[in-house]
Structure 1
Amino acid sequence: MPSPAGHRTSSPARGLPVGRRGFLKTSLGASASVLAAPTFAGWLAAADAKAATALAFVDDYRTNVAANLTADTNAVVRILDGFARTWRTGSAWNTGTVLSADVLRADMRHCAEVTRRRTDAEARKAFLYDRRHQSYAMIAGLGPLAGLYQDGSLAVTSITEAPDGTPATTVNDAVPAGAPAGSALGAGAHDSALGKVAELVDTVRGPYASGNPAKYAYQYPRPWRMNEDSEVVDTGRTDAYGFPVYDSEVTVAPQLLRQRGTSPADDGGFPSGHTNAFHLAGLAYAYAVPERFQELVARALELSDTRIVAGMHHTVDVIGGRVMATALAAAALADPANADLKAAARAQALAYFEARTGATADTLYAYAHAAGPDTDPYADRAANERAARPRLTYALRRHGADRPLTVPKGAEVLLETRQPYLTAGQRRDVLRSTALPAGYVLLDGAEQWGRLDLFAAADGYGAFDTDVTVTLDAAAGGFSAADSWRHDIDGHGGLTKRGTGTLTLTGANRYRGGTVVAGGTLVAASGEALGRGDVQVTAGTLRVAGTLLVRGTYTQGAGTLDVTLRTDGGAPLRVGRRAVLGRGSTLSLTLGGQHPPAAGRILAVLDAPRLRGRFDRVELNSDRLRAVPVYTADGLSVRLVKR
């Protein structure tokens, strides 16, 4: 919330009712009596009661305007009210009261340590993303599609490098001289080849998406104006740039010293506006280009982290910016007024990238992930996950017991293009089963938008709390035709796979309700992929990628079991109880490895304590060998013979 360029105040505390030496009236050390009440559980109950009487955020988000600065009048201020458990706003920018000493002290220590260890390269990076239009900065999350997007959208920036030291003046992004006609900042021009996507980004970042009302509502000073005890201490001195010097261990990156807000009362830290903007743009791009959904979420989290590295924001500011952006993006995407636009943006992006890459809806995902980490910084999914997870909570500590999440109304729209084969209710189940646990005070505000973990949700269910039936359609293309669920899925429910498409399970799954393959292909990509229950194949294909353990009973009345024969002699399918094979069942065998076995070898296929029945048909992918089944009471092997 910067003030106009050139406006400076040499003593921001002048005329305000502060304590000795300019301290906030209540320091962390003096806040113990405040912490005694209310209890955390009591606060949660009060927050729930308040939320129950309010409109859902997605129905009320248009109240986020400058005239509304209270939780009762502004939906954004309301969903951020977890911060009200930590900080009580004062009558002025430096008269607030600390309520949670442990939270704010840990926050300040984290910020101080990050800026103390900041390298020159990190400072330069922080400058770029402070000054560059946030919607443009997010484009890099598109990876191999980023350059194509810039060409098609005519998106440009003038912030291409960081200065060695502190610039002589303020720096702002602009359309650079010599840019192609029609070029635009941010997401690009609305009349470009990707104009609908640019328009969607700008709409999600529309007039009701500002963080300024919440900044004025909470009036939480930026970290460089505070010390470890969350006190504002004005030393009475000014620096070389005319800014007051505060007693703080958090230092601002040299490149940004002149870019700071000059009016503390108009320059609150919570929530971070840049963070809000990064995530809003990222989720809009992710809706239009879901092939890069997870990478865009990771990009938004990384760029938001540069606000802490810059010394411009607290960790709590960044968390608050993410929380509000998640809710605001869902509200804009769920708004019926934007239904045609979001559909047009998705269709336009898909058609454009197919035309420019030669890919199809089925192969665009592979193209979008074809680059290595040397050109795509988000190529390593595991590295993205390692970086993303701690940025969801930073220095926050959990208090109290976990409790199930009631997914906020409308949140499921955020996964609408990423998991189009699921119903709205199923997408809500995905969000709930992958959510962060309760007990993080900033995340447990009204509606608990902060508990949503969109990076994790992109990988499908975290638990089957009820039986799940999923239908994928090969003809629909994209994620509707094929997707992977990567979590270690728990729960007492089971899975039924229908349709003609392909679903891959990669986790060490623990769900107990059993698995039914009733159409299409279910790929078991780990030994524990099918959980701990019975497995039935009634139609379609069960493909075993490696070795699969079925802990219960395996029954195949029809359909195909597709396995790769192991040259070490181990059975690809091991059954814990019994195996029952019926009429119409097919066994499809693949010879694996660079050196396939020779004729005469006997290779195991299925081990079980008891085996009943036989496959109607046995196929082998070889033009020189055929497989002769050898059944026993406790398993099946095949002898390879020449054709």
Structure 2
Amino acid sequence: MYLLPARPLILALSIAAALSACGGSDQDQPLVIPAAPADQGAAETVAVPSATAFVDTVATNQRGDARYATLDTNAGVRILGGFLSIWKPLTQIVDAGVTAPANGSFPAVVTSTWTGVPGDGTPDGTVLNAAVHQANIDYVVKATANRTADQAVQAYLDDRRGKGYSITDGMGPLTSAWRAAAQQTTTITSVAADATTVLYNDGGNNTGVGGTANASFGSVVDLVNLVGNNASTEPAKRFYKYARPFRWSTSVQLLPALVPAKSTTPATDGGYTSGHTAEAVRDAVAMAYAVPERYQEMLSRGLELGEMRILAGMHSPLDVVSGRMLGIASAAANLADPANAAKKAAAVTQAHTALMAATSTTADTFAAYAQSGTTANDRFADYATNKANYLRRSTFGFAQIAATNAAVAVPKGAEVLLETRQPYLTDAQRRVVLKTTALASGYPVMDDAEGWGRLNLFAAADGYASFSGNVTIVMDASKGGFNAVDRWRNDISGAGKLVKQGTGTLKLAGANSWTGGTELTAGALQGDSVAAFGKGDVYVSGGTLVANAPAALQLAKYTQLSGSTTLELDLGGAAAGSQGSLTVAGTATLAGGTLHVKFANGYKPKAGDVLTVITAGNLQGKFTTITVDGFSTVTPTYGATTLTLTLGS
């Protein structure tokens, strides 16, 4: 096997004799083997913001201390402070007759009188950005005027059921198994005929039965409950004193079935932030952590419940956006706490053991089963729809009101949110993924100093969106799950270089444009899109490169060394440029190794057919071995720009 050359090197090929029985050509001449793509420098790192970290101060967010909460004293209030450019609540006042909490961490202040009813003659604050505020309320007016009957039912169920129970339908094919294992129950299964006059509360157990009382799934339930520690929305509600949308406008059509749920004490019923949303999102994050095979679907379900709060008329978009932020931050803080490390690991193991047993799957088949639903029985089965909805529900169409190109900050500890979804990455790499997939800046509320508002966990689950420096990916297939096989679907840009190592398989499916090249040294790299490998050179010194694109896989330059290297083409047609074939704009250098041709999507050629498998600007060298599934003899013809295979018996 050739050693990786440090510079272009002229070597004499010794493979002609080995190929003569398979149809050699006149290309048996000295071969110029290019160097591997140049190193692009040290891997990118993302520093922790200098702002006070939510994960370090989450314990300050206590429901019981809500009336004392300020930006300086409460982590939950602080990360939502972007709202202060839109709405200024009444200033807190000192009350000498009030004693500070026993822990002494809060000043002796109480919030001023708050009616929670806009326009009643006792203002609770001042609108500072009339355009954003009006857009916020107008959105609810339009949403409630146009909600469908199905949306009305779901909005009711998502309001009255336990949030932990409600969002488990995001598990799709795993929902019934999850609910049975968790021993979850609910008493709210439909909208009662008298719901408009009778308040129904859920008599079920929300997340299920945890601890030792549930030997096979208690650790999983405990994990979902654990992320609710220090996660109250009450301090933010009391501090910001922003009314619910139906109190701002009589044009908001509160869901009739939820009229009995309407609070009769507005002063303790703030809209900002949405408690239902925060709880649903943090529960969704915990469930996605335990079962990352449904990661994006669970995150989608969490944000969907938030939107149901708007459709119900109970909350405004900014209430829901802030709920998303606090929910994600609360989940991250608890997942990142070193004291919870053993609990996390136990939950992940227990979730997979129990769910595989319940679904008669194995470690090799579980992921496929988790994704086996259709739009008829799993409303999160369509990836493109989920992606579009997640992005829409992240901003709700607000116009950007600040700089749109502000640098991305990644919160301290946020990398834990990808710990099970991308277990083969380091914490430093996960932080880069979060940076490169972040939402744009400038949207109302979302530009907090730490970066919680701009996290796009749906996109982050699809891997990097940009390469800078050398991006080295090491996967260990023996660990199973995403360590063995993963797929990145983002459109990857940048000037960096991808280096794939380890035994696992990484699939690339985006419209990629990075320029620093790709070097495969071990395992497998699979191109599922025509531009899977960007615009740089592709260099295979070990492992298997797989072409599985719907049309020809497009490469700038291709080099395959001898030894344990394989080019696998999953062909879907015989013509040049067809599915699974290879098109190289520059030079394709074949210094040996194996070509393995498979057939995909029902394509079945017959003996005597001629397949055009590689087209290049310049084709030099040969493979040592060529195998074609279903055919014992194959005759290759190496031309100046093409390689064709004539199939024998």
Q: Which category of TM-score, normalised to the shorter sequence, fits these structures?
A: 0.7 to 0.9
Q: Paired residue for 1:352?
A: 354
1:141 aligns with 2:170: yes
1:223 aligns with 2:226: no
Aligned pair partner of 1:253 in 252, 255, 260: 255
Aligned pair partner of 1:631 in 613, 627, 638: 638
How is 1:495-514 mapped onto 2 (pairs within 5 angstroms)?
Answer: 495-514=498-517
Q: Paired residue for 1:268?
A: 270
The alignment partner of 2:474 has SS state of strand
TM-score (norm 2): 0.84
Note closer, same or farther for the CA distance 1:164–1:517 as it changes in structure 2 (3 Å cut): same
Note closer, same or farther for the CA distance 1:606–1:595 as it changes in structure 2 (3 Å cut): closer
1:309 aligns with 2:311: yes
TM-fit CA distance, 1:117: 1.5
The number of residues matched between the two structures is: 560
For 2:305 and 2:487, locate their aligned partners in 1 and report how far apart those are by CA, in whole Å: 27
8 Å contact from structure 1 (residues 315, 395) kept in 2: no
2:540 is aligned with what amino acid?
V
TM-fit CA distance, 1:167: 4.2
Q: Paired residue for 1:384?
A: 386
How is 1:363-512 mapped onto 2 (pairs within 5 angstroms)?
Answer: 363-399=365-401, 400-512=403-515
Q: Alignment RMSD, CA only?
A: 1.6
Unaligned residue ranges in structure 2 (runs of 5+):
1-48, 91-111, 117-122
TM-fit CA distance, 1:360: 2.0
8 Å contact from structure 2 (residues 209, 218) kept in 1: yes
1:288 is aligned with what amino acid?
A
TM-fit CA distance, 1:436: 0.3
Note closer, same or farther for the CA distance 1:430–1:548 as it changes in structure 2 (3 Å cut): farther
TM-fit CA distance, 1:295: 0.5
Q: Paired residue for 2:55?
A: 58
The alignment partner of 1:398 has SS state of coil
2:628 is aligned with what amino acid?
L
Structure 1, residues 234-286: CA drift from partner, whole Å, max 9, x if none? xxxxxxxxxxxxxx211211111111111111000000000001001111111
For 2:156 and 2:638, locate their aligned partners in 1 and report how far apart those are by CA, in whole Å: 69
The alignment partner of 2:637 has SS state of strand
2:60 is aligned with what amino acid?
T
1:214 is aligned with what amino acid?
A
1:589 aligns with 2:589: no
Q: Paired residue for 1:76?
A: 76
The answer to which of 372-381 and 102-111 deviates more is 372-381
Aligned pair partner of 1:557 in 561, 567, 570: 561
8 Å contact from structure 1 (residues 270, 317) kept in 2: yes
TM-fit CA distance, 1:121: 3.4
For 2:358 and 2:198, locate their aligned partners in 1 and report how far apart those are by CA, in whole Å: 41
How is 1:91-110 mapped onto 2 (pairs within 5 angstroms)?
Answer: 91=112, 92=114, 93=116, 94-110=123-139
8 Å contact from structure 1 (residues 76, 214) kept in 2: yes
Q: Paired residue for 1:532?
A: 535
For 1:300 and 1:263, locate their aligned partners in 2 and report how far apart those are by CA, in whole Å: 28
1:638 is aligned with what amino acid?
L
TM-fit CA distance, 1:464: 1.1
Q: Paired residue for 2:28?
A: none
The alignment partner of 1:446 has SS state of coil
Which has the bigger relative contact order, CA under 8 A and spacing at least 6? Answer: 2
Q: Paired residue for 2:287?
A: 285
Q: Paired residue for 2:585?
A: 576
1:186 aligns with 2:186: no
For 1:592 and 1:280, locate their aligned partners in 2 and report how far apart those are by CA, in whole Å: 41
TM-fit CA distance, 1:476: 0.8
Q: Paired residue for 2:333?
A: 331
For 2:390 and 2:142, locate their aligned partners in 1 and report how far apart those are by CA, in whole Å: 19
Q: Paired residue for 1:200?
A: 223
The alignment partner of 1:97 has SS state of strand
Q: Paired residue for 2:96?
A: none
1:159 aligns with 2:188: yes
For 1:395 and 1:531, locate their aligned partners in 2 and report how far apart those are by CA, in whole Å: 31
For 2:561 and 2:240, locate their aligned partners in 1 and report how far apart those are by CA, in whole Å: 63
8 Å contact from structure 1 (residues 557, 582) kept in 2: yes
TM-fit CA distance, 1:564: 3.1
8 Å contact from structure 1 (residues 103, 395) kept in 2: no
The alignment partner of 2:407 has SS state of coil
Note closer, same or farther for the CA distance 1:555–1:103 as it changes in structure 2 (3 Å cut): same
Q: Paired residue for 1:603?
A: 611
For 1:385 and 1:545, locate their aligned partners in 2 and report how far apart those are by CA, in whole Å: 23
For 1:611 and 1:152, locate their aligned partners in 2 and report how far apart those are by CA, in whole Å: 58
TM-fit CA distance, 1:573: 0.8
The alignment partner of 2:435 has SS state of helix
For 2:601 and 2:161, locate their aligned partners in 1 and report how far apart those are by CA, in whole Å: 50
For 2:353 and 2:160, locate their aligned partners in 1 and report how far apart those are by CA, in whole Å: 32
8 Å contact from structure 1 (residues 187, 202) kept in 2: no
For 2:603 and 2:234, locate their aligned partners in 1 and report how far apart those are by CA, in whole Å: 65
Structure 1, residues 487-509: CA drift from partner, whole Å, max 9, x if none? 11111112111111111111111
1:414 is aligned with what amino acid?
L
1:210 is aligned with what amino acid?
S
TM-fit CA distance, 1:549: 4.2
8 Å contact from structure 1 (residues 124, 163) kept in 2: no
The alignment partner of 1:576 has SS state of strand
The alignment partner of 2:596 has SS state of strand
The alignment partner of 1:509 has SS state of coil
Q: Paired residue for 1:613?
A: 621
8 Å contact from structure 1 (residues 156, 188) kept in 2: no
For 2:257 and 2:349, locate their aligned partners in 1 and report how far apart those are by CA, in whole Å: 41
8 Å contact from structure 1 (residues 482, 503) kept in 2: yes
TM-score (norm 1): 0.85
